[in-house]
């Protein structure tokens, strides 16, 4: 199974788009997205210096635009990707890239949303000097205790021995002076304490924009930063995108979900490298590729052929209800022919920690249950087949 992952802020570097602009049409498309975002992304991706592209209001649109355009080089037509990709995920702002790539929103809608996200988060960051530092290694419990002692938030729990601490610059300086045992602290090139309470002012602003976006349900399973759940309802995708701004990123749980789904190949789109590094440690045995330049496209196309499972178009007269998480499914059996109302909870999936409701967002008439009560299920696994009412 092939998955596409989309990096977040801090992955950009000066000039990373220079080789991509040599591809036919790339500059024109980037200029178009620049017009949508109201930023010169061509300049920022080629000649702007590190301090300029560190600015949240610049970095976030640049990262999303570069990711979306690189996918057009990987898949000549979006439908090719929908047929081959088993799942998608994005880290932090990369979730917007992943959502647009999955068909939840258009590229233009994604650029408007990320422009306002970057602007709102930059304004929130300007209230007080804040930042983020990666904590590499150390005992996880001790790392958590040290962060709490310094008043810091574990904003990104990335797995593979990496936690990102966020807070004020004074708190981060104290962490550097007093780190957890056997851990390294590395300051990150970001301009704020993202995914913490410091970003709360941006949430309300983004919620208003999100309500105005017309959406479509994802064409491929999307794995959420919030808890590693597979999300298949477009409005829920947007709700989570907004809430995630001030809540921690659980990339460790995303990798757990991808492993349970049976991933065999992982491609990280530009600006690539960070998530591939985490996957090499957190997903042993999975072939990974950081798509950094067009020179990597030949290897990427090979991986698509070898790991991408061809999928035929789904019959439009029925819909699947899928599991949001790994666990044990339970339900009150609704027999064949029973009518399920839109938004009804049809089952629950229980794990050792949580209990997730399974909702039939569109409703319909029960054709068949694809699992038995008490069965173990995986994230994204089909549970129930429904025939839409009126079709």
**pLDDT score, position 250:** 96
Active site residue ranges: 92, 195
Quick check: is 192 in a domain? no
Same domain assignment for residues 19 and 112: yes
Task: Tell me the C-alpha distance between 120 and 113, whole Å.
Answer: 10
Task: Tell me the C-alpha distance between 286 and 308, whole Å.
Answer: 13
Same domain assignment for residues 173 and 116: no
Task: Tell me the C-alpha distance between 351 and 275, whole Å.
Answer: 26
Quick check: is 323 in a domain? yes
In this structure, what are the phi and psi dihedrals at residue 314, rounded to the nearest 5 degrees? -75, 140
The stretch 56-68 carries a mean pLDDT of 96
66-96: b (≥16 Cβ within 10 Å) or e: bbbbbbbbbbeeeeebbbbbbbbbbbbbbbb
Task: Tell me the C-alpha distance between 373 and 376, whole Å.
Answer: 9
Residue 53 has pLDDT above 80, yes or no: yes
Structural domain span for residue 30: 2-124+197-307
Task: Tell me the C-alpha distance between 324 and 321, whole Å.
Answer: 9
Q: Which residues contact 176 (CB under 8 A, 6 or more apart)?
A: 133, 185, 187
Residue 100's domain is classified under what CATH number?
Answer: 3.40.366.10
Top pLDDT among 48 and 335 is at 48
In this structure, what are the phi and psi dihedrals at residue 162, rounded to the nearest 5 degrees? -125, 125
The stretch 350-376 carries a mean pLDDT of 89
Same domain assignment for residues 260 and 379: no
Same domain assignment for residues 148 and 180: yes
The stretch 226-232 carries a mean pLDDT of 92
Same domain assignment for residues 233 and 110: yes
Last residue of a domain, one of 281, 307, 333: 307
pLDDT grade, residue 391 (50/70/90)?
very low
Last residue of a domain, one of 187, 208, 223: 187
Q: Name the CA dihedral angle for 232, 234, 236, 237, rounded to a multiple of 10 degrees.
A: 90
Q: For residue range 168-219, what is the model confidence (pLDDT) as tens digits?
A: 999 999 999 999 999 999 998 787 899 999 999 999 999 999 999 999 889 9
Same domain assignment for residues 26 and 118: yes
Task: Tell me the C-alpha distance between 67 and 60, whole Å.
Answer: 11
Contact between residue 26 and residue 69 where contact means Cβ atoms under 8 Å apart: yes
Helix (H, G, I), strand (E, B) or coil at 219: coil
How many domains are contained in the chain? 3
Helix (H, G, I), strand (E, B) or coil at 206: helix
Residue 383's domain is classified under what CATH number?
Answer: 2.40.50.100
**pLDDT score, position 97:** 98
Same domain assignment for residues 202 and 96: yes
- What is this structure's pTM? 0.83
Contact between residue 226 and residue 247 where contact means Cβ atoms under 8 Å apart: yes
pLDDT grade, residue 79 (50/70/90)?
confident
Residue 249 has pLDDT above 80, yes or no: yes
The stretch 291-310 carries a mean pLDDT of 94
Top pLDDT among 310 and 241 is at 241
Could you give the angle at which helices 94-101 and 56-74 cross, rounded to 10 degrees? Answer: 30
Residue 169's domain is classified under what CATH number?
Answer: 3.30.70.250
Residue 337 has pLDDT above 80, yes or no: no
**pLDDT score, position 389:** 61
* Mean predicted lDDT score pLDDT of the chain: 92
Last residue of a domain, one of 187, 207, 240: 187
Q: Please give the radius of gyration of the chain, using alpha carbons only, rounded to the nearest integer.
A: 21
Quick check: is 297 in a domain? yes
Helix (H, G, I), strand (E, B) or coil at 217: coil
């Amino acid at each position: 199974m092939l998955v596409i992952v989309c990096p977040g802020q801090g992955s950009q570097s000066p000039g990373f788009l220079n080789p991509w602009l040599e591809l036919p049409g790339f500059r024109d498309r980037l200029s178009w997205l620049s017009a949508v975002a109201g930023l010169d992304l061509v300049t920022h991706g080629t000649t702007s210096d590190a301090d300029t592209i560190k600015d949240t209001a610049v970095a976030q649109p640049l990262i999303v635009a570069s990711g979306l355009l690189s996918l057009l080089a990987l898949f000549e037509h979006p439908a090719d990707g929908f047929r081959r990709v088993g799942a998608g995920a994005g880290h932090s702002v990369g979730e917007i890239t992943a959502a647009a790539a999955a068909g939840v929103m258009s590229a233009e809608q994604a650029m408007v949303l990320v422009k306002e996200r970057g602007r709102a988060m930059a304004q929130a960051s300007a209230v007080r000097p804040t930042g983020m530092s990666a904590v590499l290694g150390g005992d996880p419990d001790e790392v958590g205790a040290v962060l709490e002692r310094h008043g810091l938030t574990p904003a990104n729990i990335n797995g593979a021995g990496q936690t990102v601490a966020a807070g004020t610059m004074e708190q981060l300086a104290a962490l550097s002076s007093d780190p957890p045992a056997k851990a390294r602290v590395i300051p990150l090139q970001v301009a704020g304490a993202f995914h913490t309470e410091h970003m709360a002012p941006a949430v309300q602003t983004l919620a208003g924009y999100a309500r105005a976006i017309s959406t479509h349900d994802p064409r491929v399973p999307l794995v959420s930063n919030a808890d590693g759940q597979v999300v298949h309802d477009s409005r829920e995708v947007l709700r989570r995108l907004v809430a995630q701004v001030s809540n921690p990123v659980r990339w460790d749980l995303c990798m757990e979900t991808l492993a349970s789904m049976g991933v065999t190949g992982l491609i990280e789109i530009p600006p690539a490298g960070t998530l591939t590094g985490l996957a090499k440690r957190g997903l042993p045995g999975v072939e990974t590729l950081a798509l950094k330049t067009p020179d990597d496209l030949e290897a990427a196309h090979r991986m698509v052929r070898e790991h991408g499972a061809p999928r035929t178009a789904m019959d439009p007269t029925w819909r699947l209800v899928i599991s949001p998480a790994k666990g044990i499914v339970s339900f009150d059996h609704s027999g064949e022919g029973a009518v399920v109302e839109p938004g009804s909870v049809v089952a629950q999936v229980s794990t050792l920690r949580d209990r997730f409701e399974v909702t039939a967002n569109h409703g319909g008439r029960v054709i068949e249950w694809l699992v038995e009560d008490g069965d173990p299920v995986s994230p994204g696994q089909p549970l129930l087949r429904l025939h839409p009412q009126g079709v």
